């Protein structure tokens, strides 16, 4: 089986992204996490960008246990590619990155190169 990677966008473990919604946008650094099934955004940033409405709720399992999180849809630009996808809302204020890009976005044509800065 051969796979053609020519149409894939290569990203590093950390990338500059732009989150867009309703004419507002915010450029920031996001963590790329192939271990996360869903992408996540800080609830404070989501409020600032007026993301919403909440389109679903999702149980997220982590080392801290399972939590029910609201889900919103947002558009993210990574390496010039614009993707509209669902993000869970979480308090990421204590974390280094306000946005985590998970498998639901990565499966749309991205490859991770840990050596890329």
User: Tens digit of pLDDT per residue, the chain (117 long)?
Assistant: 456 677 899 999 999 999 998 888 999 999 999 999 999 999 999 999 999 899 999 888 777 788 889 999 999 999 999 999 999 999 998 999 999 999 999 999 999 999 987
pTM of the predicted model, to two decimals? 0.90
Q: Say if residues 101 and 32 touch (Cβ distance below 8 Å).
A: yes
C-alpha neighbours within 13 Å on the C-beta side of residue 26: 18
For the chain, domain boundaries: 9-112
Map tokens 């990338």 to a residue: 15
What confidence score (pLDDT) does residue 5 get?
Answer: 73
- pLDDT, residue 23, reads 86
What architecture does CATH give domain 9-112? Beta Barrel (2.40)
Peptide bond into 97 cis (omega under 30): no
């Amino acid at each position: 089986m051969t796979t053609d990677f020519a149409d894939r966008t290569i990203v590093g473990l950390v990338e500059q992204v732009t989150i867009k919604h309703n004419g507002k946008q915010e450029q920031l650094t996001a963590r790329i996490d192939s271990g996360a099934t869903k992408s996540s955004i800080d609830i404070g940033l989501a409020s600032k960008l007026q993301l919403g409405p909440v389109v679903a709720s999702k149980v997220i399992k982590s080392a801290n246990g399972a939590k029910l999180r609201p889900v919103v849809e947002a558009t993210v630009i990574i390496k010039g590619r614009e993707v509209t996808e669902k993000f869970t809302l979480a308090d990421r204020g204590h974390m280094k990155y306000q946005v985590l890009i998970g498998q639901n976005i990565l499966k749309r044509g991205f490859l991770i190169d840990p050596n890329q800065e």
